[in-house]
Amino acid sequence: MSEFLHQLTLSQGALLSGVQVTIYISFLSIIIGTAIGLVIGLVLTYAPFLARLPFRIYVDAIRGTPVLVLILAAYYVPAVLGVSLDALSSGILALTGFCAAHMGEIFRGAFQSVEKGQTEAARAIGLTFPQTVRYVLLPQVIRSVLPTWVNTGAELVKGSTLLSAIGVGELVLRTQEIIGRNFMTMEFYLVAGLIFLLINLAIESFGKYLERRLTYA
């Protein structure tokens, strides 16, 4: 046990930097992914069929492909097309694309659940479409999307572990390096698991808090 504590203090820095990278990746991909997802959701709900089609294909293709495959593809493909991305950027690219597709579906559901009468009323009083989105749709949509959005955040934290497969120094890869040094396999996977648990439980309780604040009778 004291040996374990000793090893734990030795590996503190590595674990901490792993946690930072994990949070950085997840945060960046959920922010960019949500912004793109919002656009996708709008297009899927309001655009005419032909404009909708490529977005529909994108969303279904991404959602039908495992995240690991997306990550490996984002890691290997850009190089042969003449774009050079380091492992971290390809990983963030893959997770962002994944997040955008998922949020796109979630936003589509939320936009479609707003009654049609409201957009018609907004048109009738002379609001342009961007104004309708800004003043009529978004206030309701954000409210209904928030709890799911927070869950997606936890999913992304879990998904970010897969970046260890392409050599991004997030928490799992750092843990594997530590284990390679001291052979305390079980102990340090438990430590990593515990850290992920703490991060995700924090996200989950934040989500529950939002849900309590935002539900209206």
Partner 1 sequence: MGYTLNFSSVWANFDSLLWGLVLGLFMAVCAIGIGFLIGIFGAFASQSKSPWVRGAIGFYVSILRNLPLLVLILFVYFGLPQLGMTLGRLESFIGALAIYAGAYLIEVLRAGLMSVPPGVVEAGRAVGLTQFQTNLYVVTPIMLRNALPAMSSTFISLFKDTSLAAIVAIGDLTYQARKINVETFRVVETWTVASLLYIATCVLIAAGLRALERRYPRF
Task: List residues near partner 1 by CB under 8 A.
Answer: 60-61, 63-70, 72-73, 76-77, 79-82, 154, 157-159, 161-162, 164-165, 172, 176, 179, 185-186, 189-190, 192-193, 196-197, 200-201, 204
CB atoms inside a 10 Å sphere around CB 137? 21
Residues 6+ apart with CB under 8 A from 26: 95, 153, 156, 157, 159, 160
CB nearer partner 1, residue 122 or residue 159: 159
CB nearer partner 1, residue 33 or residue 207: 207
- C-beta of 19: minimal distance to partner 1 in Å? 13
- C-beta of 26: minimal distance to partner 1 in Å? 11
- C-beta of 63: minimal distance to partner 1 in Å? 8
- C-beta of 188: minimal distance to partner 1 in Å? 9
- C-beta of 175: minimal distance to partner 1 in Å? 8
CB nearer partner 1, residue 26 or residue 132: 26
CB nearer partner 1, residue 82 or residue 126: 82
Instruction: Kindly state the tokens that stand for 163.
Output: 């970046």
Secondary structure of the chain in HEC code, one letter for each residue: CHHHHHHHHHHHHHHHHHHHHHHHHHHHHHHHHHHHHHHHHHHHHHCCHHHHHHHHHHHHHHHHCCHHHHHHHHHHHHHHCCCCCCHHHHHHHHHHHHHHHHHHHHHHHHHHCCCHHHHHHHHHCCCCHHHHHHHHHHHHHHHHHHHHHHHHHHHHHHHHHHHHHHCCCCHHHHHHHHHHHHCCHHHHHHHHHHHHHHHHHHHHHHHHHHHHHHCCC
- C-beta of 122: minimal distance to partner 1 in Å? 33
CB nearer partner 1, residue 6 or residue 208: 208
CB nearer partner 1, residue 42 or residue 100: 100
- C-beta of 41: minimal distance to partner 1 in Å? 18
Contact assessment for residue 160 and residue 92, using Cβ atoms and an 8 Å cutoff: no
CB nearer partner 1, residue 64 or residue 126: 64
